[in-house]
Chains A and B, each alone.
Chain A
Amino acid sequence: MKNIFYSIKRNSFILISTLAIGGLYSCSEDFLDVEPEGVPVGEDFFVTGEHAMQAVNSIYGNLREWNNIAFAHLAITTITSDNAEKGSVPGDAGFLDNFDNLTVTPTEGQLNGYWNGQYQGINLANQVLTNVPQINMDESLKARLLAEAKFFRAYHYFNLVRAFGGVPLRLSVPLPGEQEDPEQLNLPRASKEDVYAQIVEDLREAAQVLPVNYDAANEGRATKGAALGMLAKVQLYQKNWQEVLDLTEQIMGLGYSLTPNYYDIFRISGENNNESIFEIQAATIPGNCGASNSQWAEVQGVRGQFGWGFVEPTQDLVEAYEEGDERLDATILFRGETTPEGDVISESAPNPRYNQKAYVPSFVTNECGYGRDQNIRILRFAEVLLMHAEAANELGRTEQALETLNMVRVRAGLEPIESATQEELRNLIWQERRVELALENGDRFFDLVRQGRAAEVLQALGKNFVEGKNEVFPIPQQQINLSGGTLTQNPGY
């Protein structure tokens, strides 16, 4: 009797235990399905028009990134040129001397930073271009947002192709597992021509859709003028003169005008004015220093007084200005000078000259750091006029060339050029480009390369420019390593 009772009890115990464990199992999947805390999930993104807007906004935000506007950008585009030296004090960020002297090697970290910064912008644009078309939203807004993304994809590829030559041409979003799949891995470098062709295509499509201007709340977004202007510049680099002429004339019909006083262009009050075609927008957002992150002005600000003092304008640049050129004083901040805003530049500043286009008066807040409010001028009407002049001259249309060239000269307080041969005019336009755009948007080094005289000009200043090598920078070694050697190095490096 006892035994039977025991065995029943035992069996029931086993039965109940089994049920309990089985029950646990059946409810366990609920217990184990845990949503990530506090993070929006990718699968719920790109669903609404608001998401499309946020994704496009991220492309603008990324432009302010350190790699895109600070050391890497300034080193590659400006310190390399005849307009500026490394600056700051000897030894400080000594690796930038390699850009100043054109002795950069593939492992130089700034190269990798520049590469990654541009491609991160390209990915943000590719995400938009891949995912936004499927979103159910206002179609005209959608078209505009896609056009903005194309503009920036082109902008970043243009930066890459100028700096490195042909680069991997990535037009789609990274897929999960892609890097593990050798078939998909290791996109080789596309040819320079293919990269340019893609840039042109993106800019053309963008220009067709983008509006000429925006309401105040959207001031600073890419416009039709920006896309046409960028396209003109891209064509300029490819010496497609007729295209440049047509595009610049088209922009000249969009209502832009020169700012009467050159100095005003670079002040905070002059941001997005009627001469402006595209600027990287920056501001101090009170309490949010993470978003107030543009260090373009701080890196170049007067050392000790405002900023770090890199990118020291050269004496050669000072001498490039003609007598009476108002732009000299607006471009270069001299040790000991008093600015129109009343700041006295210290006599004991370590560098004789600083970039005045990166000057932000001391009354502007520095709560997130110096100069966080300064926009970076990427493209303005004066450059469009100079591109027009250059194209017209190359096409033999001297009158047209002189007309637009002189608009820029006269605004700077200089006498107009009355006449010149094509060769003379070419040099005059190149000279005008230099002094008009110096230390501003990072064109000078690439202009010299484009004009085929980089070796001549830079070697004369003692820089180690080697023809057939230094026209482009080395592909970052880290990228070659990651690609397992599929990415090839540029000649001479």
Chain B
Amino acid sequence: MKKNCLLLVMCLLMVHLAFAQNTIPVQGRVVDASTGQPLIGAGVAVQGTSIGTQTDVNGNYTINAPADGTLVISYIAYQNAQVPVNNRNTINIELQQDTEALEEVVVVGYGVQEKRDVTGSIASVTNEELVKQASQNPVSSLQGKVAGVTITNSGAPGASPQIRIRGAGSALGSADPLYVVDGTFVDNLSFLNPADIESIEILKDASSAAIYGVRAANGVVLVTTKRGKAGDSRVNYNGFVGVQRVTNALEMTDAQEYATLINEKNGTELIPTDLPTTDWYDQILRTALIQNHQVSASGGSEKITYSASAGYLNQEGIIEGNEYERITARLQTDFELSENVKVGYNGIFYNYNSLDIPGDIFYQAFVAPPIIPVFKANGNYGDSFDFNVGNFANPQASIDWFKQESSGQQFIGNAFGEVEFLNNFTFRTSLGVNYGLNEFTNYRSQDSLTSVQYASRSLLTQGRSKRTSWLWENTLTYDKVFGEHEITALLGTSAQENKFENFVGSVNDVEFNSDANLYLDLGDPETFLIEADGDRFTFLSYFGRINYTFRDKYLLTATLRYDASSKFPSSDRWEYFPSVGLGWRVIEEEFMQDQTILDNLKLRASWGRLGNNNIPSSIFILPVSTDARYGSIFNGVLYPGRNITQVVSPTLYWEVVEEVDLGVEMGFLNNRLTAEIDWYNKETKDAIFGLTPLGYLGLTGEIRGNYATFRNRGLEAVVNWTDDISDDITYNIGLNFAVNKNEVTGIATGNNVFFNGNLPVGGYQVSITRIGDPIGAFYGYEVDGIFQNEQEVAASAQPNARPGDFRYRDLNDDNIIDERDKTIIGDPNPGFVFGINTGFSYRNFDFVLDIQGVSDVDIYNGNRNVRYGNENFSQDFFDNRWTGPGTSNFYPSASLIGSNLDPNDFFVESGDYIRIRNLQVGYNLPQSLVNNWGMQNFRIYVNAQNPITWFDYNGFSPEVGGVPVSQGIDRNVYPLSATYNFGVNVTF
């Protein structure tokens, strides 16, 4: 069956060749009309045929054309020229710059489009902006650059930031957008060196993204890597070295303050107050080095163009022993086999090695009492047992004991063939592969470090996971101008298979002399344990798009995608995802010709429907639970235990996003001032939610179904000002901001409320999803002060409270504090996100200052809520706590237990922040000097990334993130760090 499929699809590849005609040879040169400079790679074609060529490095071309034919010469950002051949053998052509060609070209799905013809909301970030950031991950470079895109960074080396486009578009899963790199779908961009990227386009609205149908509910990030240009041979070196330092470290109590708090809390002199202090953050944090180098080369002849690069990144973590090393390599070549046949490929390879740290090390350092010494006098690790405060790991011991290396390779490649035929048709087939391997080796030696950190047998754990995926896409494009009508039509098919395999083995008692001993078969065979799992899913899609422009004024884009995914049951597998976008370039109208205020005015409106495939595979199929804990033990022997502990929804269908976008684009003062404003309403219908089952059903995990409908509605604005004060001084200021409001509009289940967001202690859930409120809003008691004395307690609705406890507001006035008194106490969905990007250049100096921030967002301070026992406290808590009548009416006493830990608004804090994202000063060495060195350009710069972040939140970082239904709960305390770099860009 599969073979038949392949054969049939081969039909799509059939090539229809054009005919040769009686012709004469024509040659000539294409130059810029104003400067006389040759134009390299300009297209020269015979009108009405598929005959065409490109100019060479000197702007020269040769073509065989009908003696009575017409040549069409085209070049990006220049006006097309049409020149009758008139039996001439030499035709030199001057092209006029297109005055409207300020309009850049943007990449859209399966094609490119001039920005002015776009009817949706697409943001574009170019290489120039990316390399200014000196950052390791392309996604973090986007922070603050694009209106409506919220990026939440993680401080961990090699980690991918979380990205949200126009709010959370889906509830279950990551709500991450689709990443498309040169046509291949990938999970993240951590394998890419930002310097390799030509541009990143973000398809924000449904009509732009609808061509990606089922994958596009959370937006699409299109990455185009660099491609070589004919004749434009150059070699580049980009590199920087820098240091990373933690900023905004949270001040914790010292030993004396800690002892005071614990004694207060427990009502006894449990701990002496004269013990020496260990500052655990000081102990485990360090200034980390980072270096990044990249060499790239590109160029080519008329027939072959290439681009290649190699990069090396070495980043130390801010924790001792943590290191991440990445090698990236890329090779791209395009071949023009004949006038109308083009083939090419693009391959990206990356390899990483990492020395890892324990996943909970920041948590350990956060809770570890400061009275525990790093080492005891006898040289052993300090042990919480010696202090009778409860079980705490010694963070230094954890780091020293932890031995884990991981590594991975990934290859992302794409090969294509393109045929132009019948003048207006282009057929393209492309095959993409994504192959990745990740491995780790963890060895826990037999050791006894503290009373809670010990192992009586060593344990070797090794894991390997493999990903293979292929994507085959075929498109047929038709391009034609009929008088005032311009049409581009696209038809396409797409098929994809993804497969993951994961294998982990462990064994005890491997004798360790060197890393060379770390093989599973060297352990005690009685203790072998193997765990393996996998995943496979497929997609099949058909899609089409029509772009129609009438009189260069009226624009239409219509798309339709018909998608199927194996993730859904066969009854609900196929779905249509249509969209339509309309544009009106008002500035072109007669009545606009007399006004002088506006240089550009375009109105856009679009509607589209998208799907979400960010759900686990086969969630409609009931699994059997096989967990080891279900095994029964009789007479010391383990017997497998299996049973059914879940239910699956009988009907599961596509969750769809429908979005309306209205936009206006304006230009003033000779387009020095531009503005773009978008309003959108994005509705996620029948969103797949995980429902916590009623306990008496005895299930494990969630029940998933199409349970809720919610919407994101907002406004985005981008304003840019570019000007020069003199020939020496130019500057630009860009401002972007977005407001977004999230609201749940419908819920399909009986009880109309979803609780999520587990807090660390006591099984509390703080996030609620219910009609009329934002998804995952914080829900709990309002604190109405602190009980100052027993009389106040006795007179209150909380008879069991103690002085120093929270007094909760009795919202229904029934003199009982219970669930009915809970209310919405915060919203973790960012309401306002902004960025200010400025550039300034004076002669050879350039200067960049980028500011970025978020406001109207709440965080639930889950770290402060971690009170199993005698965890450390923050300095802020020590300074402000209640210690007796009249001492505080906001902070409770140190005895933060019991109902004080019920979700309440004391723990809700503003997550607003404003940050200097990037501060950079560069200097271009004088051209004369550089030319003597055989270079075209030599620039040095210093930059500071994230040097300052201002926020009020009592935590390490206001960037918390999380899945939509339980986002914004800070249970992870990875500190923020600043990076200071010195860098060089050289072009040979």
Contact = CB atoms under 8 A, between A and B. Distances in A.
Interface in A438-493: 476-484
A180 B634 contact: no
Nearest to A477: B819
Contacts of A253: none
A291 B979 CA distance: 46
A92 B867 CA distance: 9
Contacts of B635: 216-217, 219-220
Interface in A54-86: 54-62, 64-65
Interface size on A, as a range, is 35 or more
B455 interface: yes
Contacts of A108: 762
B639 to A, nearest CB: 5
Interface stretch (A122-130, A196-204, A240-248): A122-130
A91 B632 contact: no
Contacts of A36: 617-618, 621, 623
A285 interface: yes
Contacts of B537: 34
A308 B643 contact: no
A366 interface: yes
Contacts of A276: none
Interface in B475-512: 493, 495, 497, 499-501, 506-508
Contacts of A16: 11, 14
Interface string A1-16: 0100010011001001
Nearest to A28: B540
A54 B640 contact: yes
B629 interface: yes
B270 A90 contact: yes
Contacts of A59: 632, 641, 643
B868 A93 contact: yes
B698 A119 contact: yes
A409 interface: no
A91 B265 contact: yes
B751 A482 contact: yes
B538 A34 contact: yes
B570 A176 contact: no
Nearest to B476: A17
Nearest to B749: A180
A97 to B, nearest CB: 7
Contacts of A287: 506-508, 524, 526-529
Interface stretch (A39-47, A259-267, A383-391, A414-422): A39-47
Contacts of B625: 58
Interface in A181-230: 181-182, 185-187, 216-221
B329 to A, nearest CB: 31
Residue from A90, A106, A216, A350 with most neighbouring chain B CB atoms (10 Å): A90
Contacts, number: 364
A444 B9 CA distance: 75
B565 interface: yes
Nearest to A482: B694
A112 B540 contact: no
A19 to B, nearest CB: 7
Contact of B641 (A58, A179, A476): A58
A122 B451 contact: no
A291 B636 CA distance: 11
A433 to B, nearest CB: 29
A180 B705 contact: yes
Interface stretch (B61-69, B204-212, B897-905): B897-905
Interface stretch (B360-368, B382-390, B839-847): B382-390
Contacts of A180: 649, 705, 707, 748-750
Given A91-B266, A178-B647, A217-B637, A286 B526 contact: yes
A220 B898 CA distance: 39
Residue from A20, A33, A40, A109 with most neighbouring chain B CB atoms (10 Å): A20
Contacts of A107: 762, 764, 899, 902
Contact of A170 (B391, B647, B698): B698
A115 B643 CA distance: 20
Given A107-B764, A220-B634, A32 B564 contact: yes
Contact of B536 (A34, A55, A60, A178): A34
27 contacts: A2-B19, A24-B495, A28-B564, A31-B497, A31-B540, A31-B566, A42-B623, A45-B644, A51-B642, A58-B632, A59-B643, A62-B630, A89-B270, A92-B391, A94-B869, A107-B762, A109-B762, A109-B763, A119-B697, A120-B699, A185-B751, A218-B634, A287-B528, A304-B451, A308-B391, A479-B694, A484-B751
Given A62-B629, A88-B869, A186-B750, 9 more contacts: A37-B500, A38-B532, A109-B761, A180-B705, A185-B751, A285-B638, A287-B527, A480-B819, A482-B751
